[in-house]
Amino acid sequence: MVENYKRHFKGNVTLEEIAEKIKEAKSIVLTAHISPDGDALGSILAFYFMIKAFSKKENLEKKVSIVIADELPKYMKHFEERELIKNYDEFKVEGMSDLFISLDCANQERYGKSVEIKKLCKESINIDHHVSNTEHADFNYVEDICSMGELVHQFIEIFGIELSKKMAEFMYLGIINDTGNFRHDNVTEHTFEVCADLMRAGANNHKIANIIFAMSVEKMNLFGDVYKNSVIDFEKGFIYYYLSQKQIKEFNLKKGETDGVAEIMLKIDGMELSLFAREEVDGTIKGSLRCNDKYNVNEIASIFNGGGHVKAAGFKTDLPFEEILKKISEKL
């Protein structure tokens, strides 16, 4: 393993202390963010199996549940373990739990309705990799690492457990989701070290990449429209595209099928910044920002109280699209 790979860290607890809290807790609820992506889902499932293996090794009785307050993306049909993830609405709260752990949530809004479950837990832990993390739990651990998939891998050693094929596959899912299959600049030497370990444990890179990067006909139609109707400001290297609720219905797009739009726009030659703005059911706008070296989208997203990473960030706002464009242009 590469020594001292750790990047920008904030929080008030170490992973070892988190492991100790997990050891002591008799009941644990795990959550990840709404609009769950491959990293949220992969890391939470990997972590679930790791806690289970740890409990078995230590001979501990532990109740572990996973709740996500949202629908799962279509590709999860390929993983039977999706059954372990309860939607908030079907989750039965049986009294107070000892520990609430969020993964991949930069702020508490990202819990969605699961925030109600947090209130019923004695202690809360936030483990995340977004530099914009607001340290929203009792115990916080934030590392500037490519993905939660890569972050949770460290618990193999801390828990003293063996890396199973299942854990490896789910960590791999998280890593390729958040690195765009190793294309983004958040990939480090350590990412590849971890992936080598995951492949040794049986993770099938080809199978997992095919599952999450497969494209539905609906998504193909959307991407066609993005390529045709994106607007480019060549001087600033800024490309943007707006998707209305009306279009979402016309294209028959399901949850998660608009993922990747900001990424494909940034691939256009000469582009430094991309914005994908999607109108939500409630009329607000969700923005996804991606950039190359010239800009910092964590800062740009913060204009709208959003955030994320330097090269990938998001926000949600009540402002009309024209106003969003104006505010962003002023920053460039």
Q: Which two tokens stand for residue 206?
A: 């080809």
Q: How far is the CB of 122 from Mn ion (least distance, A)?
A: 26
Q: What are 128's strand-pairing partners?
A: 142
If the CB atoms of residues 65 and 147 are measured against Mn ion, the closer one turns out to be 147
Q: How far is the CB of 173 from Mn ion (least distance, A)?
A: 11
Q: Give the binding site for Mn ion (CB under 5 A).
A: 39, 104, 148, 178
Q: Parallel, antiparallel, or unpaired: how do β-strands 312-317 and 307-308 relate? A: antiparallel
Q: Which two tokens stand for residue 116?
A: 């109600």
Contacts of 142 (CB under 8 A, 6+ apart): 9, 10, 11, 126, 127, 128, 129, 130, 131, 133, 135
If the CB atoms of residues 124 and 133 are measured against Mn ion, the closer one turns out to be 133
If the CB atoms of residues 149 and 237 are measured against Mn ion, the closer one turns out to be 149
If the CB atoms of residues 171 and 271 are measured against Mn ion, the closer one turns out to be 171
If the CB atoms of residues 47 and 242 are measured against Mn ion, the closer one turns out to be 47
Q: How far is the CB of 183 from Mn ion (least distance, A)?
A: 15
Q: How far is the CB of 177 from Mn ion (least distance, A)?
A: 7
Q: How far is the CB of 259 from Mn ion (least distance, A)?
A: 12
Q: How far is the CB of 307 from Mn ion (least distance, A)?
A: 13
By beta-carbon distance, which residue lies closest to Mn ion?
A: 39
If the CB atoms of residues 146 and 168 are measured against Mn ion, the closer one turns out to be 146
If the CB atoms of residues 25 and 148 are measured against Mn ion, the closer one turns out to be 148
Half-sphere exposure of residue 16: CA atoms within 13 angstroms, side-chain side: 0
Q: Which two tokens stand for residue 327?
A: 């505010």
> Distance (Å, rounded) from C-alpha 118 to C-alpha 211?
32
Q: How far is the CB of 179 from Mn ion (least distance, A)?
A: 10
